[in-house]
Every structure is written in structure tokens, then in C-alpha cells.
Amino acid sequence: MDKLIIKGGNRLSGSLPISGAKNSALTLIPCALLTEEPLTLRNLPRLADIDGFQHLMNQFGVTTSVQGSRPEDFGRVMTLEAPRITSNVAPYDLVRKMRASILVLGPLLARTGEATVSLPGGCAIGNRPIDLHLKALEAFGAEIELAAGYVKATAPGGKLPGGEYDFPVVSVGATENALMAAVLASGTSRLFNAAREPEIVDLCNLLVAMGAKIDGIGSSDITIHGVKRLHGATYKVMADRIEAGSYACAAAITGGEVYLEGANGEDMGATLHALRNIGCEVESDAGGVRVAANGPLKPVNLSTAPYPGLATDMQAQLMSLLLKAEGTSVLNETIFENRFMHVPELRRMGADIEVSGRTAVVKGPASLTGAAVMATDLRASMSLIIAALAAEGETEVRRIYHLDRGYERLEEKLKLIGADIERVGDD
């Protein structure tokens, strides 16, 4: 098992390319199940989760071909073609490692009239039930059965009639599943209190490019007029706003400056606002986003929230940055109940952080020193790397398979801006 060795103290400066968004790509790939024609996705990141989802699609009889597989390539082009669905079962062995696998439920149900999907796995960051996915599908006319660790959804008569669903709380994944289920329904469907994340907009834009009729894109009130069929399309995956924010924090904690090539500042509003309040200089243009930390960092109070609020996926990275702020910061995690698992590892490096329930109090500036630390989930892994970049001495980050799920060639990108980081085999 690989690990990362990081020697802290280098000021990070320069430009690096931002990859296609993992959280968007994993939603766009199952759209291939909705049409008999080819779907070509550009700017797909080279990630373990993408490879895993490709294998899952093959399980249903979808053929996949990939361009851009050379080691030096950032991003790939994948063409998926499903003229015939040969299986509508997503087995446990393929689903257990990746929570996003539940996103095949809606399109399989829409295309074939039934779907059987294993309950998903993924990061251990708290209770993330799929009840809202199932309730939305039931509201659209599906019959749901849970048995032996599987969800079986059936459309009576082979086609969903459509309906209305008002989410009691905002759910990104459930909104995505409901959208994909509704586009081939025989009637009109409506979602209230739907998620508004840029990744939702990306999904809607692809579905429209395939012939779907959707009103209210980007709002919390979405209307989907079912169509008889969708056609193929070629579509570019949006830039990864979480990856961009992560590298911004990495440069800022070293007092550095980074140009995030391809990043969309509009999608990163809450993160960029937080960085400005912390004391960073932030500029956006058509080509990307520049972030610089030329002075002392300031403490802030932050709370995660559904978009357009601060993404929960940025909480851990900003916490690491705030270790160098001159004063006390408070972070409130409102989305997941168990997303401070990186705190004990940061303490091993000298961080002064107190956690009470869903609130973390960070006292800075901390004198960080290198240590052996263990990654617990995807974003927690990145928070350890950010802290290591500013620590004195050498830090060893273990269990980096989490990172390979969400950051395309991370050490190569960090080296582009001056980090001393190496991937080595674990003894």
C-alpha cells in the first residue's frame, strides 16, 4: 500500500490544471443508461472512482472506450454506448466501495422499468441514508422493496408516470437520481427544495443536450417534462471546484500563490469568500482563479451548508489552513455528523483543536511538526497534506487510497508549484 512523504516548509507558487469534477462525472456517467446512442464525456478525471463506475456500467452491458490513457495525460475522454441493457442488477461486489453507485437506480428504472441495486458503501463520514432517493422515486410512481441488502425498484407497466416530491432536507444525490428517473417518465414531474449545486446544473445541462425537457435549472424548484427517448451527446465535465479549493488552501498555508487553471470562480463563491475573509487575495478571470496569501492569516467562523453555502467537502481543508491563522476560529459542520475524523491526526502534528458535537474550535497559529498520520476519508486526507506542507520536518501520510478516489495525480500537481512530496511503497 502506497504512502506519501512530504517535507514541509516550501512556499508553493505557480500554475496547475484543475481536473474535471469527480462529483459531477460520477453523475454524468450513468446518463448513458438513458439512451441507445453513444454518450461521450470529455475532461473525465483519472480517478479510482471513475474506473470503478466504468466497471459497474460494463455490468449492465454498456460498452466503454477511453482516450487519453497515457500517463502524461490529465483528463480523459470516455464514450459509453448502451444499445441494449443486458442486466439491471448492480451487485454488492461492485457497489460496496463507492456510494455514488446508487445513482444507477434512477436511470435503470427509467430505461428498463426495474432496477436492483445493492445498498452502497463509500466514505465513513457519517450516516448518509438513501431514504430520500427512494421516497422521490415512489412519488414518481415506483414500487420499492428492500431485501437482503438490495433495493429493488419497479415501474408498474414498465414506465414511471411521474409526480411531485418535496425534499424535507436538501439532498444532492437524491435530486440527481430523481432527475434521471423523471426524464423518461410518461408525464411531468416536479421537485421542490431540490439541491442547487453546480454539479446538479451540470447534470441538467447534459440531460438537456440529450433531449430532455427541464425547467428551473439552477433553482430549488425543478420541473421535468418526460420525453419518449433521449439521444446521444458529447459533453465536457465541469471543473472540480473542490479540487480547486483544496489547492488554494495548500498554497495559502505556505504563504504562496497559485493560479488554478480552468477553475470556475462562480462555482466556488462560498469557498473564495472564506479565503478572502481569512486574508487571501482572490482574483477570477475567464481562464481560472488566482489565490495568494501575502500577509498574516485571520481567524474566521465558518458553517457548512447546502449550495450556495460553504461545501462540506471544503471543511477539512479550510480547518488545516486556519491552523496558521492568528487567533481562534470556529467551524460548524451542519451536513454530516462524523466529519471531524481528521482532527486527531492533525493534533499529532501539533494542532490545537477542540471538538464538541458538530463544532470544532481551532486555535492558531500552531507550530506544526511532521508526523506519521493516517487518512480516514477523502477530504480528511487532503487536510493532512495541507498541514504537512506547512509543518517542520517530514510527514508520512498513510492510507492514501482515499486520495486516489478524488484527486487526479495529486503529487504531480503539487510538485508543479514547488511541493516536496513523493509517493512510495509502504513497507
Distance CA 211, CA 193 (A): 24
The answer to whether 131 is a known ligand-binding residue is yes
* Per-residue model confidence (pLDDT) at position 247: 98
- Do 39 and 105 lie in one domain? The reply is yes
Q: Is 403 annotated as a binding residue?
A: no
Is 426 a residue whose pLDDT tops 70? no
The pLDDT tens digits of the residues spanning 209-253 come to: 999 999 999 999 999 999 999 999 999 999 999 999 999 999 999
- H helices of 351-422, in order, are 378-390, 401-404, 410-416
Query: CB–CB of 196/266 below 8 Å?
Result: no
Give tens-digit pLDDT for 96-151. Answer: 777 788 999 999 999 999 999 998 754 333 445 789 999 999 999 999 998 888 99
What confidence score (pLDDT) does residue 135 get? 95
How many domains, the chain? 2
- Domain membership of residue 139 as a residue range: 22-236
Residue 265's contacts (CB-CB under 8 Å, 6 or more residues apart) are 272, 282, 284, 289
Same domain? 190 vs 323: no
Whether residues 195 and 274 fall in one domain: no
Query: What's the CA gap between 211 and 232, in Å, rounded?
Result: 9
CATH code for the domain of 89: 3.65.10.10
Is 130 labelled a binding residue? yes
Q: Is the pLDDT of residue 372 over 60?
A: yes
Banded model confidence at residue 70, pLDDT cuts 50, 70, 90: low
What percent of the chain lies above the pLDDT cut of 70? 96
Strand order in the sheet with 213-215: 164-166, 188-192, 221-225, 213-215
Residues 290 and 414 in one domain: yes
> Under a CB-based contact definition with an 8 Å cutoff, are residues 256 and 293 in contact?
yes
Domain check: are 279 and 313 in the same one? yes
Cα–Cα distance measured from residue 293 to residue 235, given in angstroms and rounded to the nearest whole number? 35
Burial 205-226 (b: 16+ CB within 10 A, else e): bbbebbbbebeebeeeebbbbb
Look at the pTM and tell me if it is higher than 0.85: yes
Boundary residue ending a domain (175, 201, 236): 236
* Residue 404 annotated in ligand binding: no
**235, 202 Cβ separation under 8 angstroms:** no
Contact in structure between 195 and 171 (CB atoms under 8 Å) = yes
| Same domain, residue pair 8 and 46 | no
Please state, as a whole number, how many other Cβ atoms lie within 10 Å of the Cβ of residue 358: 18
Task: For 260-273, give the secondary structure using H, E and C.
Answer: EECCCHHHHHHHHH
Last residue in a domain, options 236, 258, 276: 236
Note whether 340 and 377 are same-domain residues.
Answer: yes
CA atoms within 13 A on the CB side of 50: 29
Residues 192 and 316 in one domain: no
Q: How confident is the model at residue 409 (pLDDT cuts 50, 70, 90)?
A: very high
Is-contact 137 178, C-beta < 8 A?
yes
Catalytic one of 123, 204, 249, 280: 123
Interval 387-406: pLDDT, tens? 999 999 999 999 998 898 88
Residue 111 among known ligand-binding residues = no
pLDDT in tens, 254-292: 999 999 999 999 999 999 999 999 999 999 999 999 999
**Residues 89 and 100 occupy one common structural domain:** yes
294-344 pLDDT, tens digit each = 999 999 999 999 999 999 999 999 999 999 999 999 999 998 777 798 999
Choose one of 236, 271, 300: the last residue of a domain.
Answer: 236
- Residue 249 annotated among the catalytic residues of the structure: no
d(CA 280, CA 394): 26
Mean pLDDT over the full length of the chain: 94
